[in-house]
Structure 1
Amino acid sequence: MAVKYAINPDRNKPWNDMPLFPIDKENYHNLEIYEALVESKAALARLQGRSATLSNQGVLISTISLQEAKASSAIENIFTTDDELYKAYSETDQKPIFGPPKEVLRYREALWQGHAYMKGKKEFDQGYLDLVYQTIKEANDSIRSPFSQIVIRQGGSELNTGQVIYTPPRGKGVLENQLSNLLEFLNDDQKYPVDPLMKMVMGHFQFEAIHPYRDGNGRTGRIFNIHYLTHIGLLDFPILFLSKFIIQNKDEYYGCLAGVSQRGDWKKWILYMLKAVELTSNDTYNKINEILSVKDEILEELQKNSSIRRPELLVEIIFTQPYTKVKHLTDKKAFAENTARNYLNELCDLQVLEKRTIEGHHYYLNLELYRILSN
């Protein structure tokens, strides 16, 4: 059956006539896609149900969002180690942070800035997109200039490296019109009665194809995905770790994007993204269970075999992030400085924490939390 979708045959020409939403149902109305949609929504619902039972969702939110930031940045070839990232995140005294850890932490900040922006909002708007982009890039600009000569080139070190593989649209009013259509599609369920998870999948392609900003479009688009799911109520908090799947299947991700623009192959793109939602929902669900299980075991051990007072509070703090400092306990006015230091050292003796000295500063690594997040 012929696909009713106008493709972009010339990779060197701006795709100004990219089809607006809605796309013809023929592009996605088939049994395989709807079966995958059912599986994805079931996994997402299970994750939502499990996370809703947490007494302190902030613990999970802090740790999972940090890993999402790390993976999403890695897709854009911004790499940092877990140790570098967690050390930077653990700093509470506003020391300057440089290099890849700073970029990753900006992504995490954008994740939370965007989430806060959408609270009480009925619809996504240009202000939301600009906020996320500007936070990621530490920028003040908005949609790129009509004269911007941005092209997407083949990466890597093979024979085709550097060749143009896609040219996003440009020109006076072009991006504004396409973004307006995208936002209307996502916001207006009466005019566009498409399943919300399908809307997220389709909308992600459209945003990346529009490529509205001079840089940071991939990261902005992936944050947009998560916030869309929270906005429509499929998740309470932005804890879906989609970037892990994408970084593990990076070539397929870009191949499926190109498949839509060059061949009109919406099916492969939709199936890829639905599989990403299903598997990362399951992965995050399992991480929640592991974190809660080890927290309970550690708390039980402290209650039975330690002299620590208020062990519940201490365990809560050491599970907020992988690296803990004495200052984290004293800043929360939970413990006096000497008491905090003694308790953290006692946890080292129990092999719950591992003390590390970095540049003369003492950090306490939560070994089990670190292991769970690194898998």
Structure 2
Amino acid sequence: MPYQINPDRTKPWNELPDLPISSDLYEDLEIYKQLGNSKAALARLQGRSIAIPNQGMLVNSISLQEAKASSAIENIFTTDDELYKAYSEDHGRQLDGPAKEILNYREALWLGYQHLENEELFDTEYFVKMYRVISQFGDGIRTPVAQIYIKEGGTGPNAGKAFYTPPRGKGVVEAKMRNLIDFLNDDVKHGLDPLLKMAIGHFQFEAIHPFRDGNGRTGRVFNIHYLTKKGLLDYPILFLSRYIMEHKEDYYAGLSGVTQRGNWKTWILYMLKAVEVTSNITYQKINDIIMAKDAILDAVIEDSNFIRPESFVDFLFTQPLTRVKHFVNAGLYAENTARKYLDHLTDMGILEKRKMQGNSYYLNLELYRILSE
């Protein structure tokens, strides 16, 4: 049966088809081949990440970059310097502006991950919690009368006009979300490969557009959480939004291709390719971070007389920009000892000491370089 497309962009798409979609796509040779490549790349990343004793060395820095890329898709930009400084200051809880919004996304990555560790299934509470953290609003599923539509971008003759109008009406959005959640959770009735379900589920969430703001970021944080929930990743450390940011036009073209032409194949191939490419990028970054950490540890042991050098260097790689108080608050060293060690690594050329607003910060030059590439 042909997929029921959206005939009028200006009217709510209340006829958005329930999941699942036609099974013909699952037997497509091109999709099958790309699925194999994506699963292999993701499995290699998973195998590399679980072999690292100190997961904190990866998860903080990499999740910040995922948060930055996903926010940039929504035209929320900040520099790495601003972001790392915000994160180093008690995770930027007193901030406003772009850096704060990015840190909200990063917080959602971890809160959602923890929520799903405690809950067996996806539920409405999960999606509402992610939306609230990302948007900092206190409401939930949008009201039946909310006039929500996606505007045409750019400066052309259609700029600002309705590009897509999501479902609307009493109980409509809630029913669509129940169907999506059932599709995600029931692997007996909907026994698809998790990567296919992630791609289909992401489209369906964006088409439902259940919240008044933050749907794009909520949908992208869901992508990572679905992979961790299904055991394909132990931690939310995939740079998936980087690919979407770098291929932003194709992302939106893929979404509209489904709504306007029922072109699921292009959309699924796009999302599978995003998983493959970003798995390989993340894998390489993990290798580079581990190599840099080991080289610095060797230099510290050879050049210095540090107490617990392994703990010092491991902690140094939990975020690019650090301060003396971070080592003190973590219970690793006394203030004078931490300052002496950090200043010594600055003299060795491993760190760069920066004065900002009267405080001393230490930039891990290698970690900063690796994450910025």
**Alignment TM class, shorter chain as reference:** over 0.9
Query: What secondary structure does 2:363 align onto?
Result: strand
CA distance in 1 between counterparts of 2:91 and 2:224 reads 30
In angstroms, what is the RMSD of aligned CA positions? Answer: 1.2
Query: What secondary structure does 1:363 align onto?
Result: strand
Match of 1:127 among 125, 129, 132: 125
Match of 2:175 among 177, 185, 191: 177
Identity %: 60
Query: What secondary structure does 1:12 align onto?
Result: coil
The answer to whether structure 1 residue 246 and structure 2 residue 244 are counterparts is yes
The answer to whether structure 1 residue 220 and structure 2 residue 218 are counterparts is yes
Q: Which residue is equivalent to 1:7?
A: 5
Query: What secondary structure does 2:118 align onto?
Result: coil
CA distance in 2 between counterparts of 1:337 and 1:183 reads 50
Q: 1:137-148 residue pairs with structure 2 within 5 A?
A: 137-148=135-146
Match of 2:327 among 326, 329, 333: 329
CA contact (8 A) 2:92 2:103 kept: no
| Matched residue type, 2:279 | S
Q: 1:271-290 residue pairs with structure 2 within 5 A?
A: 271-290=269-288
The answer to whether structure 1 residue 255 and structure 2 residue 253 are counterparts is yes
CA distance in 1 between counterparts of 2:154 and 2:326 reads 42
Q: State the shift of 1:28 in Å.
A: 4.5
Gaps of 5+ in 1: none
Q: 1:341-360 residue pairs with structure 2 within 5 A?
A: 341-360=339-358
CA distance in 1 between counterparts of 2:310 and 2:141 reads 48
Q: Once the two structures are superposed, what CA deviation does each residue of 1:29-58 show, in whole Å capped at 9, x if it has no partner?
A: 310001000000000000000001000111
Q: State the shift of 1:22 in Å.
A: 1.2
Gaps of 5+ in 2: none
Q: State the shift of 1:94 in Å.
A: 6.8
Q: State the shift of 1:157 in Å.
A: 2.7
TM-score of the superposed pair, with normalisation by structure 2: 0.98
Q: State the shift of 1:158 in Å.
A: 3.2
Q: State the shift of 1:120 in Å.
A: 3.1
The answer to whether structure 1 residue 166 and structure 2 residue 164 are counterparts is yes
Change over 3 Å in CA distance of 1:28–1:266 after alignment to 2: farther
CA distance in 2 between counterparts of 1:34 and 1:336 reads 56
Query: What secondary structure does 2:362 align onto?
Result: strand
Q: State the shift of 1:264 in Å.
A: 0.4
Point out the more displaced range, 352-361 or 307-316: 307-316
CA distance in 2 between counterparts of 1:50 and 1:362 reads 34
Number of aligned residues: 373
| Matched residue type, 1:314 | F
Which 4+ residue blocks in structure 1 deviate beyond 6 angstroms?
none
Query: What secondary structure does 2:328 align onto?
Result: helix
CA distance in 2 between counterparts of 1:111 and 1:341 reads 32
CA distance in 1 between counterparts of 2:93 and 2:259 reads 45
Q: Which residue is equivalent to 1:80?
A: 78
Query: What secondary structure does 2:72 align onto?
Result: helix
CA distance in 1 between counterparts of 2:287 and 2:91 reads 32
The answer to whether structure 1 residue 189 and structure 2 residue 172 are counterparts is no
